[in-house]
A and B are shown apart, each in its own frame.
Chain A
Amino acid sequence: MMDFSYTRARSIDEARDLSIVPAAMLLAGGTTLLDLAKCGVVEPTRLIDITHIENLDTITVTDSGAAIGALAKMSRVADDPRIRENFPAISESLSLAASAQLRNMATVGGNLLQRTRCAYFRDPATFPACNKRAPGSGCAAVGGVTRNHAVLGTSDACIATYPGDLAVALVAFDAVIHIGPRAIPADEFFLLPGATPHREVALLRGEMITEITIPASPAARRSTYLKIRDRQSYEFAAASAAVGLDLAPDGRTITDIRIALGGVATIPWRCHAAEEALRGEKLDPETIARASALAMQGADARGANRYKIDLAARVVARAILKTGEIS
């Protein structure tokens, strides 16, 4: 791991002042940053430890929603009884991610910023070409082993999958990412790769995530995070879905539905077309299967990741059936 200096920031302002210089990086749980520093993917000269800033890890839940401090650990948010009751998909997205040790280390702010697991991105010594790491250098994944690569939101410059789970649940329930006084809807926080895959999020140099807010809703309260993967635990999603459902008093008519996909797209992927197709419809397996296929509209496979198109549609359908308790 390359050499760097280490400084503890005592306040958000101090963190900004210290991190505004190039090659300075904020350090929270360190689970992504130190890993990538060891891989040679990031080369910070100065780390600013923000975990000692006070009052940035509180979890507040009221009738209008939840506010989660950026430094709250994944494990604490996952286990919070108020989050489990009012936002089960949020809790499940966290408890199904990583391992118990990593969840004790990683913060929710840092979790949103975790980098792709694209094997080409993570191995600069073997694969110098990566438009994310070195803009304009090309993409070693296109034409390579693509089993874990994205089928939605890709470009010729980048097909790397966004790896996180929490962010998928956040975009499904219209969460907002707070950067001090600036607030960005989660759906707009993550940037499609296009021709600039090195720009992943709407954060500017010196800015840090301070809080995540999630509005309360009946759909968030009746929600599920379903994650399908190559092994049963401690693995990234082959495909995952955050689904929330609100039903009319008849128990069968869908009045509100939220669907977002993970493990198949370059960013956390909200499925508005599938939601629209199901709003007002009856909760029955055939309708759900038809609408779930709409979630994969525009999907573009490149070789071995073709399986994700069918898989993700089925994950959406199963998550809706599970949430509606008809499976």
Chain B
Amino acid sequence: MTNPATIRLEINGRSHTLALEPRVTLLDALREHLGLTGTKKGCDQGQCGACTVHVDGARVLACLTLAAQVEGRAITTIEGLSAPGAALHPVQAAFLEQDAFQCGYCTPGQIMSAVACIREGHAASDDEIREYMSGNLCRCGAYPHIVAAVRQAAEATP
């Protein structure tokens, strides 16, 4: 076993120092070492999008990112989208209003992806939303409501 290395991760504006083996993914670091279980493990192979987080503002898959790779980068997870006790992020609120989930397992990844999708300017039409949200699978098939939620949040974004 390769000895754990000391890694500093900036997550949701807070700095964390962890002793991690080099092979530990960002996803496992978040869930198993930091208790940030909002980011979900679906396929663990980069196919489902459940583990979507932001690194320096860009949406990426935490399951195909080594924790060591993102040392020094700013990481945002679903837990960091709105401050505890504060109002929900507009995309979170839109998902609630549009009932954009059934079981909810893919939802954190969907929301993180949607926040970035809107910020990128890729949510101008339903077709564009479908194309740019295609990396997030929903086994329950809540897609029509997910598209409606992203559209609602995009329209409310100046």
A, B bound: yes
Q: Show the binding face of A for B, using Cβ within 8 Å.
A: 1-6, 27, 30-31, 34-35, 38-39, 47, 49, 51, 75, 98-102, 104-105, 232-234
| Contact residues in A for B44 (Cβ distance below 8 Å) | 38
A-B contact count (CB 8 A): 84
Residue from A3, A47, A102, A104 with most neighbouring chain B CB atoms (10 Å):
A104
* Contact call B65/A6, Cβ cutoff below 8 A: no
Stretch at the interface among B17-25, B84-92, B100-108: B17-25
**Which single member of B22, B65, B130, B131 contacts A105 (CB below 8 Å)?**
B65
8 contacts between A and B (CB under 8 A): A6-B22, A6-B68, A30-B64, A30-B65, A34-B65, A104-B58, A232-B131, A233-B131
Main secondary structure of the interface of B (DSSP, over half): mixed
* Contact call A38/B45, Cβ cutoff below 8 A: yes
- Interface size band for B: 20 to 34
In the complex, what distance in Å separates the CA atom of A104 from the CA atom of B52? 11
Main secondary structure of the interface of A (DSSP, over half): mixed
In the complex, what distance in Å separates the CA atom of A27 from the CA atom of B69? 9
Do A101 and B49 form a contact, CB below 8 Å, given A5-B22, A233-B131, A234-B135? Answer: yes
Determine how close the nearest CB of chain B comes to the CB of A273; give it in whole angstroms: 34
In the complex, what distance in Å separates the CA atom of A6 from the CA atom of B113? 28
In the complex, what distance in Å separates the CA atom of A106 from the CA atom of B16? 26
* Contact call B69/A102, Cβ cutoff below 8 A: no
The chain B residue sitting closest to A6, CB to CB, is B22
In the complex, what distance in Å separates the CA atom of A165 from the CA atom of B143? 27
| Contact residues in A for B23 (Cβ distance below 8 Å) | 1-4, 6
In the complex, what distance in Å separates the CA atom of A104 from the CA atom of B46? 13
| Contact residues in B for A1 (Cβ distance below 8 Å) | 23
Do A104 and B60 form a contact, CB below 8 Å, given A51-B69, A99-B135? Answer: yes
Residue from A49, A101, A102 with most neighbouring chain B CB atoms (10 Å):
A101
Mark out the residues of chain B between 103 and 152 whose CB falls within 8 Å of any chain A CB in the assembled complex.
Answer: 113, 116-117, 120, 122, 130-136
The chain A residue sitting closest to B62, CB to CB, is A101
Do A34 and B113 form a contact, CB below 8 Å, given A3-B23, A101-B59, A105-B60? Answer: no
| Contact residues in B for A233 (Cβ distance below 8 Å) | 130-131, 134
| Contact residues in B for A99 (Cβ distance below 8 Å) | 49, 134-136
Known pairs A6-B23, A30-B64, A35-B45. 12 more at Cβ < 8 A? A6-B22, A30-B65, A34-B46, A34-B65, A47-B66, A99-B136, A100-B122, A101-B49, A101-B61, A102-B46, A102-B135, A232-B131
Q: Does B5 contact A (CB under 8 A)?
A: yes
Do A4 and B61 form a contact, CB below 8 Å, given A34-B66, A49-B69, A101-B49? Answer: no
Determine how close the nearest CB of chain A comes to the CB of B47; give it in whole angstroms: 9
Q: Mark B1-40, 1 if CB is under 8 A from A, else 0.
A: 1100100000000000000011101000000000000000
* Contact call B59/A6, Cβ cutoff below 8 A: no
Determine how close the nearest CB of chain A comes to the CB of B20; give it in whole angstroms: 10
| Contact residues in B for A49 (Cβ distance below 8 Å) | 68-69
Determine how close the nearest CB of chain B comes to the CB of A74; give it in whole angstroms: 12
| Contact residues in B for A75 (Cβ distance below 8 Å) | 58
10 residue pairs, one from A and one from B, having the closest CB atoms: A99-B135, A6-B22, A233-B134, A234-B134, A104-B58, A6-B68, A34-B64, A101-B135, A101-B61, A105-B60
| Contact residues in B for A98 (Cβ distance below 8 Å) | 135
In the complex, what distance in Å separates the CA atom of A172 from the CA atom of B113? 33
| Contact residues in A for B122 (Cβ distance below 8 Å) | 100
In the complex, what distance in Å separates the CA atom of A39 from the CA atom of B45? 9
Determine how close the nearest CB of chain A comes to the CB of B67; give it in whole angstroms: 9
The chain A residue sitting closest to B61, CB to CB, is A101
| Contact residues in B for A38 (Cβ distance below 8 Å) | 44-45
* Contact call B1/A3, Cβ cutoff below 8 A: yes
Determine how close the nearest CB of chain B comes to the CB of A7; give it in whole angstroms: 9
The chain A residue sitting closest to B22, CB to CB, is A6
Residue from B21, B22, B46 with most neighbouring chain A CB atoms (10 Å):
B46
* Contact call A30/B69, Cβ cutoff below 8 A: yes
Residue from A4, A30, A232 with most neighbouring chain B CB atoms (10 Å):
A30
| Contact residues in B for A35 (Cβ distance below 8 Å) | 45-46, 64
Residue from A5, A51, A100 with most neighbouring chain B CB atoms (10 Å):
A100
Do A101 and B45 form a contact, CB below 8 Å, given A6-B68, A233-B130, A233-B134? Answer: no
**Which single member of A27, A31, A104, A232 contacts B59 (CB below 8 Å)?**
A104
